[in-house]
Amino acid sequence: MVGVMLSAFIKQHKLTEEFRLTVRQYYQPLADRIFSQFTQSNNAYFVGINGCQGSGKSTLTDFIAKYLTIQYQLNTVVMSLDDFYLTSEKRNQLARDIHPLLATRGVPGTHDMVALNYVLTQLKEQKTGFSIPKFNKATDEPFPEKQWPVIENPVDIILLEGWCWGVKPQTQEQLKVPINELELQYDMSGEWRNYVNQQLKNTYEPLYKKMDFWLALQAPSFDCVYKWRLEQEQKLKDNNIDLQNSKIMSPEEILNFTQYFQRLSVQSCCSVTQSADTVFYLDSARNITNISIMENI
């Protein structure tokens, strides 16, 4: 059964046959470990997954969900922090009220954390009959609510991935100096990055404790992010060829876009990877080169 699922998965995601080795060495042992932890919890079990843009979070998360369903007959749900982005209207309001850079989705403060907290609470209590938001990056707006997935049965394991999910706030000292050209040119006073950091502290970090298990995908450097994000955008473009009024970005726009993420992507190396239950260290081709496992005490 698992072999059939894996073959279909490779075809669906257009992966090479080398993916089978990655599954055998890393993904399957990780999924089995998550299952083992779940059996000791007697409750809905939450897995938080951190990794920079394009690091392979979605592929890994999707595989784990399918594997747990096939191998252990569990009801799993995959969630992305990206699906909780605010509408462009709400982000534009933040841009007018607080700082112009908040019009661009991505950083803490541009997600609907009230909605996320509600969904996590419903899942924890194994409620049913509610929807999970879904965001369309090609239009830069949420999908219509009628297209949101509905939870029809109690969920066993929830996999929640996000580029800044699990990242700890920075110190005031860390916030003083601009980290790149974007901050130097458009946030010289530090107002934007201080607001983002405050949001991270007040509305994101309190939800981290809802996670039972943390996984981090560690890129070799931030330089990989542009290349990986470019690949993501090309796939998005290929899947939305006939879309009118597309918000899909050009390479130049992506280069600018990744600067919004740089500060906290670098910060994740100093926070998430230090405390995660499992860390996969990646090379520039996204191959796993090393693994760190925190033993349960």
Q: Which residues of the chain are modeled with pLDDT < 50?
A: 297
Residues sharing a CB contact under 8 Å with residue 148, sequence separation 6 or more, in sequence order: 131, 132, 133, 134
Nearest to 231 by CA among 205, 249, 246: 249
For residues 17 and 10, give the distance between their C-alpha atoms in angstroms, rounded to a whole number.
Answer: 7
Nearest to 106 by CA among 263, 261, 262, 272: 261
- Give domain limits for the chain: 2-293
The CA-to-CA distance between both ends of the chain, in Å, stands at 34
- Give residue 249's pLDDT: 66
- Give residue 88's pLDDT: 97
In 8-57, DSSP assigns E strands to 45-51
For residues 198 and 261, give the distance between their C-alpha atoms in angstroms, rounded to a whole number.
Answer: 16
pLDDT in tens, 232-260: 666 766 667 666 666 666 777 777 788 89
pTM: 0.91
- Give residue 272's pLDDT: 81
Dig out the tokens for 222 from the structure: 């931030």
- Give residue 236's pLDDT: 62
Secondary element (H or E) of residue 202 = none
CA distance to 27, 230, 244, per residue, from 288 (Å): 10, 20, 38
Look-up of token digits 């060495």: 25
Dig out the tokens for 97 from the structure: 């009220």
Encoded amino acid at 86, one letter:
L
Architecture of domain 2-293: 3-Layer(aba) Sandwich (3.40)
Encoded amino acid at 184, one letter:
L
* Partners of residue 218 on adjacent β-strands: 281
- Give residue 288's pLDDT: 94
- Give residue 297's pLDDT: 45
pLDDT in tens, 196-207: 999 999 999 999
Dig out the tokens for 91 from the structure: 């982000």
